[in-house]
A and B are shown apart, each in its own frame.
Chain A
Amino acid sequence: MLLNLRVANKKKLVFEGEADFCEIPTEAGIEGIMPKHINFIANLAPGKIKYKTGKKINEIDTAGGGFVEVSNDNINILLDS
């Protein structure tokens, strides 16, 4: 079981693919998401999205804000920048 992660900003698709684990800075605190996470929606807070693909951990900046939508192991992150 993997997460389908998609991150897009207004200029391009930043990342689309599968991830084992994902950490998202939201207004309610940093949210760690693993497969089978409850569906949720939240606004992003400034920070860094971290996601793990294989053994590598990647980071994406969220300074511009935006929101995240998680449903059935699909994560859509829309960055405002």
Chain B
Amino acid sequence: MPNLKSIKRKISSIKNTRQITRAMKMVAASKLKKNQSAMNEYKAYAKAYGDAVKNISTNTILYSHPFFKGYEALNNAKNASNTGIIIISTDRGLCGSFNLNLFKLFLETIHSKELNLNISGHKIQLYITGKKGLDFFKKSAYDIAFGMSYYEEGSPDRLSAILSDNISNDFVENKMKEVYIISNSYVSTMQQKAAAEKILPIGSDNAGANKKSGGYLIEPAEYEQEIIDKIFKDYIKTKIYFKILESFAGEQAARMIAMDNATRNAGRLINKLTVSYNKARQAAVTLEILDIINGANAIK
């Protein structure tokens, strides 16, 4: 027979846990609202920027910039066989499979692209934001070129600026052939989807083919390179910043759902334990009554 006291202790400890998970759910819900509105505010800017860069990338005239696929020097470079992968994870856990989905996708991505560690001279450089991602990849054999958690840098805005600077520099110096970004995109509160996206080089294979216009006039012409350079570097930053905002919103949504489930499971467990507690108590009472009756009968 299970001990009455131990069951009671168990019930009270689960009740405490339930209280904590319920509070965490509430905190996540309020943070979600804040992060969601930050993401929605920035969405229009990110989209307009993306469209503008897409327009620019359909122009062959600007192929003199190193960020472009058609850039000659890049194709001729011998040592540009590395691949850069940016992973946007979270600082904190307790958000279901949010981070795990990222790591799974990372392994799938390198598998499908046949980027293997065994191929000599081919390295994968990781750029990681978020403590959870850092902890995970520290144990692996991959080369971590950049790793930072969000609280280290204070604001995600500054973090994305530093990260994009690092990536553009490494890319221009021919350290990498391609750069991908793996992050959780925010579909809805109930659904976050891990997705991999190529951010460098800009432009698709047939970029030159669907050329609609005769190039651009860049004004003032003497700063042409600087203007284009700034636009593209800011584009990388905008992209990363938006992904981080998306990930923030998704993290809170995932945490809210995970904590909601935990609260519900705790309630279910309490019900189960209460039933067994009542049963045990009833058995004890019955036993005591039997003892008394037996005692009374013996005296007669």
Interface residue ranges, A against B (CB under 8 Å): 6, 8-13, 26-28, 31, 38-43, 67, 69, 71-72, 74, 76, 78
Q: Specify the chain A residue showing the minimal Cβ separation from B46.
A: A8
**Docked pose: A31 CA to B217 CA in angstroms:** 12
Minimal Cβ-Cβ distance residue in B for A9: B45
B52 adjacent to A11 (CB under 8 Å) = no
- Contact residues of B: prevailing secondary structure: helix
Contacts of B223 in A (CB 8 A): 27
Beta-carbon contact of A27 and B220 below 8 Å: yes
- Asked if B219 contacts A42 (CB within 8 A), the reply is yes
20 pairs of residues in contact across A and B, judged by CB atoms under 8 Å: A10-B41, A27-B223, A40-B216, A40-B217, A40-B219, A41-B56, A41-B216, A41-B219, A41-B228, A43-B230, A67-B227, A69-B52, A69-B55, A71-B213, A71-B216, A72-B55, A72-B212, A76-B48, A78-B45, A78-B52
State how many angstroms separate the Cβ of B210 from the closest Cβ of chain A.
Answer: 12
In the complex, A74 Cα to B52 Cα: how many Å? 9
Q: Are A41 and B231 in contact (CB under 8 A)?
A: yes
Top 6 A-B pairs, shortest CB-CB distance: A13-B44, A28-B219, A76-B52, A40-B217, A8-B48, A69-B52
Residue B49 is within 8 A (CB to CB) of chain A in the complex: yes
State whether B220 touches A28 (Cβ < 8 A).
Answer: yes
Given contacts A42-B218, A69-B56, A72-B213, could you give 4 more A-B pairs where the C-beta distance is less than 8 Å? A8-B47, A39-B214, A41-B219, A76-B51
Chain A residues whose CB sits within 8 angstroms of the CB of B136 once the complex forms = none
Q: How far is the CA of A36 from the CA of B59 in the complex (A)?
A: 17
Q: Does B142 contact A (CB under 8 A)?
A: no
Select from chain A the residue with minimum beta-carbon distance to B222: A28
- Whole-angstrom distance between the Cβ of A49 and the nearest chain B Cβ: 14
Report the nearest A residue to B241, measured CB to CB.
A10
B42, B59, B219, B230 interface centre (most CB from chain A within 10 Å): B219
CB distance from B222 to the nearest CB of A (A): 10
Take A27-B220, A28-B219 as given contacts and tell me if A76 and B44 are in contact as well, using a CB distance cutoff of 8 Å: no
From residue A67, how far is it (CB to closest CB) to chain B in Å? 6
For B220, give the chain A residue with the smallest CB separation.
Answer: A28
Most buried by B among A8, A12, A74: A8
Residues of A near B230 (CB, < 8 A) are: 43, 67
Contact A10 B42 (CB under 8 A): yes
Complex CA gap A74/B228 in Å reads 18
Q: Is the CB of B55 within 8 A of A71?
A: yes
- Residues from chain A with a CB closer than 8 A to the CB of B93 are none
Question: Please, how many angstroms separate the alpha-carbon atoms of A67 and B223 in the complex?
Answer: 13
Question: In chain B, residues 194-223, which have Cβ atoms closer than 8 Å to a Cβ of chain A?
Answer: 212-220, 223
Q: Is there an interface contact between A10 and B45, defined as CB atoms closer than 8 Å? A: yes
In the complex, chain A residues whose CB is within 8 Å of the CB of B59: 39, 71
User: Nearest Cβ in chain B — how far from A25, in angstroms?
Assistant: 12
Complex interface bits, B268-300 against A, C-beta within 8 A gives 1, otherwise 0: 000000000000000000000000000000000
Cα A45 to Cα B61 in complex, Å, equals 25
| Residue contact B48 to A78, C-beta cutoff 8 Å | yes
